[in-house]
Amino acid sequence: MEKIAVIGGGPAGLSAAIEAVSSGFAVTLFEKKKIGENINCAEGFFDTLKLLGEPEAGVRFRVKNIIVQMNK
């Protein structure tokens, strides 16, 4: 299995990591702060979709299990 390092746990880094895992790569995510810290983009988007009767709209795939390695 090929390995990929993703630098940054913001929206772009997390998206890249998910895409790489979905493509069969082993991913190590590096983030100096808390992963996902200060991400507040479209926080009400999926609740709005539920109200409109489209709870799965915009969902590409669901991740059942993810392992994140962090070193201090």
How many CB atoms within 10 Å of residue 9? Answer: 21
Question: Which whole number is the average pLDDT over 32-42?
Answer: 71
For tokens 């890249």, the residue is: 16
Q: CB count, 10 Å around CB of 63?
A: 9
46: helix, strand or coil: helix
The domain ranges of the chain are: 1-72
Residue 25 predicted with pLDDT over 80: yes
Which of helix, strand or coil describes residue 27? strand
Residues forming beta bridges with residue 6, ordered by sequence position: 29
- Higher-pLDDT residue of 22 and 66 is 22
